Structure 1
Amino acid sequence: MQWLPGCSCPLCPECFRLHFMVGVQERGVGALGCPSCSHPDLRDNAQHLWYWSTLELQLQSCLDPDTFDFVTQKLMELDLLQDPQFQWFPHCSFGFIFEAERGPAQCPQCHQCCCPRCQYPWDPSTPPCPVLRLGPG
């Protein structure tokens, strides 16, 4: 039997493997606590970090390399989305951290530019953000 960190619910090795293999594709890494008791609370950042760092060796030994890489990629994306400066670029779906106060944001992959606030294509002849041009109401 195998146990997930943070609970005492036993899972057979095959159920353990399938929980992560299927769950990451259908529910995402943010919902992959214990299938019986739902512990730990993965919305809590400290529990999230502890859970996944504790679980990594178990997953690496029971998942095929492609699935393990997919799980770690989804964990990285989830962590990046919590950074207020991280954004997905609208033209090519490449993600990056934009640290400047003002635009344009230029994608390091496709080299297109957009407004970092609203994601509209950057047009230097208009005010900085079409969302701001609309005004209140």
Structure 2
Amino acid sequence: MSTVIDQAVEARLVAADPRMLTIPASLHYDCDDPFAVRMTFPAPATLEGVEVSWSFGRELLSAGLEESTGDGDVRIRPYGYERTVLEFHAPEGTAIVHVRTGELRSFLKRSAALVPAGHEHLHLEIDADLAELLRDAC
């Protein structure tokens, strides 16, 4: 059984232009980092022309489907019944995208099948990670 989920999603970029551009994006979940979700935008979809990834809590994504959440670099809120807004704040500016809520729910359901919410700590390799951190300390 795979311990990684990659799911393509359709994101709609909110910009000054009244029409929203559709851009490809992907969601990524890995049991080795059970608390996190990564959303990646390919190089052609970014202003810098390089792939951009944002990592944020799976719990943040889940909560953002129901109510406005987040007060840092990533903020998520529902937008009607069918869409969810994800805001990504960086020193260079803010990117706002709409994603179909159904796609996000599907992704979260798949990730919960790998690691149920509340059981993330069971998938951490704390002893190995601590040993690696301390390896060079002596």
For normalisation by structure 2, the TM-score amounts to: 0.29
Higher strand share: 2
Q: Give the structure, 1 or 2, with the largest relative contact order (CA under 8 Å, sep 6 or more).
A: 2
For normalisation by structure 1, the TM-score amounts to: 0.29
Rg larger in 1 or in 2?
1
Higher helix share: 1
